Amino acid sequence: MKAAPADFAVLGGPPEFAEPLMVGRPALPDRDELLNRIGAVLDSGQLTNDGPVVREFEAAIAEYLNVRHAVAVCNGTMALQIMLKAAGLTGEVIVPSLTFVATAHAVEWLGLTPVFADVDPHSQTLDAASISKCLSDRTSAILAVHLWGNLCDAERLQELADRHGLQLLFDASHAFGCHDGQRLAGSFGGAEAFSFHATKVMHCIEGGAITTNDERLAERARLMRNFGITGLSSIESAGTNGKLNELNAAAGLCGLSMLPQIIERNRQNLASYQTVLQPLPGIELMQVMPAEQTNAQYVVAEVGPDFGMSRDDLLAVLRAEGIFARSYFNPGCHNAEPYAGHRKHQPIQLPVTERLLRTLIQLPTGLQVDAAQIARIGSILQSARKWSSELKRALATTPPEWHPHDPAAPRDPSWQKVA
């Protein structure tokens, strides 16, 4: 409870959480299940190269997502690159700027040009009207992102893609387990790419997959992830090494068993955040899809003018309290190198993206967080809003106190004196 501005940790008070709450902590697999699976891999002697555990993992993903093909790869970035390559794209690919930079980099790495479109203010996924403004005679595809697990309007995007003879592909890294009431993410468009990084709702520690109903695209992807090798003495094309190994696939199978439990907790956490944020003006929780359709892996809110302080000041206040919230995906792909300021990447203004990059905050969730902790976060937010003028003034004049465990804190202790 912060009864006065001086109680806030930025002003020298004790932090609310001595053990910090991270924005997310990887869900740790059941130890016995993981060790058993690892033991079986070691017993088999097959550690990688399309072994039986990778195949079991692929079959399990395809079945869960109700899609014909799942091609497992070593991470989400590789899933994107192989998917784009297997789709045979050329020229320009329209992508949102409001995404993890890997979405744009995957396009750029293939020698294609990512062209940034704006997002819808509500869903924060690609806005169809904005896509239309980015079209050129070099456009070959739309690469949409189901950001924060919000499914894109796939029907509308497909219609647009068909009208202009474009391919439609998805970065589904945030959307494992999300559905629109009928279909799960994974079977929309020509193909979808998933990240199974440790921070994702379902993870292999590091891993990813391409999912598709297109048999030929799946075949090309399989070939590409294994150097283009078709047999002991035959190589068909210039592939890469995108293979998932057996140990990571084993971790992925454990991740799949835990998925219902993780999604359930995430949804409970989302409901708790709704309760604490609903009465608080100036901070608005994003919830687009019904709770039972989202994996709720990201708790995203927008900090507006009524909150009394900027998103960045609020982040500083929270971090000092041990609430390590984040400001994904600031500065936005179009403001990062090698894209910043190039018209070929950004032919249009991106006002919604620019606003969201300044105002979005992601709050801690996952198995590490419970309703009681969210109530304490709510109380801090309430007091921060109440004392916003005092906190802002203090932040502007005094270097903030850092939480003892904050990895973002400057390492040199003399920094506070120098600043």
Per CB under 6 A, the list member of 9, 11, 23, 217 interacting with ligand T4K is: 23
**CB-nearer residue toward ligand T4K: 324 or 387:** 324
**CB-nearer residue toward ligand T4K: 69 or 197:** 197
Beta bridge partners of residue 73, listed in sequence order? 208, 243
Per CB under 6 A, the list member of 76, 177, 186, 239 interacting with ligand T4K is: 76
Rounded to whole angstroms, how far apart are CA atoms 321 and 316?
9
How many residues sit close enough to ligand T4K to count as binding (CB under 6 A)?
23
- How many CB atoms lie under 10 A from the CB of residue 120? 18
Rounded to whole angstroms, how far apart are CA atoms 146 and 284?
20
Query: Nearest CA to 369 among 8, 22, 14?
Result: 22
Query: Nearest CA to 167 among 68, 89, 99?
Result: 89
Question: Shortest distance, CB of residue 417 to ligand T4K, whole angstroms?
Answer: 28
Q: Is 367 in the site for ligand T4K (CB under 6 A)?
A: no
Question: Shortest distance, CB of residue 146 to ligand T4K, whole angstroms?
Answer: 8
Rounded to whole angstroms, how far apart are CA atoms 147 and 336?
19
**CB-nearer residue toward ligand T4K: 249 or 394:** 249
- How many CB atoms lie under 10 A from the CB of residue 237? 12
Q: Is 102 in the site for ligand T4K (CB under 6 A)?
A: yes
Q: Scan residues 328-347 and list those touching ligand T4K (CB under 6 A).
A: 328
Find the residue with minimal CB distance to ligand T4K.
76
- How many CB atoms lie under 10 A from the CB of residue 341? 10
Instruction: Map residues 132-151 to x or -, x wherever contact with ligand T4K holds by CB under 6 A.
Output: -------------x------
CA atoms within 13 A on the CB side of 171: 33
Rounded to whole angstroms, how far apart are CA atoms 411 and 409?
6
Q: Is 183 in the site for ligand T4K (CB under 6 A)?
A: no
Per CB under 6 A, the list member of 75, 139, 245, 383 interacting with ligand T4K is: 75
Question: Shortest distance, CB of residue 376 to ligand T4K, whole angstroms?
Answer: 18
Interacting span for ligand T4K (CB under 6 A) from 17-25, 118-126, 258-266, 303-311: 17-25
Query: Nearest CA to 381 among 304, 267, 229, 276?
Result: 276
Q: Is 203 in the site for ligand T4K (CB under 6 A)?
A: no
Per CB under 6 A, the list member of 81, 97, 99, 327 interacting with ligand T4K is: 99
Q: Is 96 in the site for ligand T4K (CB under 6 A)?
A: no
Question: Shortest distance, CB of residue 79 to ligand T4K, whole angstroms?
Answer: 7
Question: In the numeric block, which tokens belong to residue 118?
Answer: 């704006």
* Strand (E) or helix (H) holding 357: helix 351-359
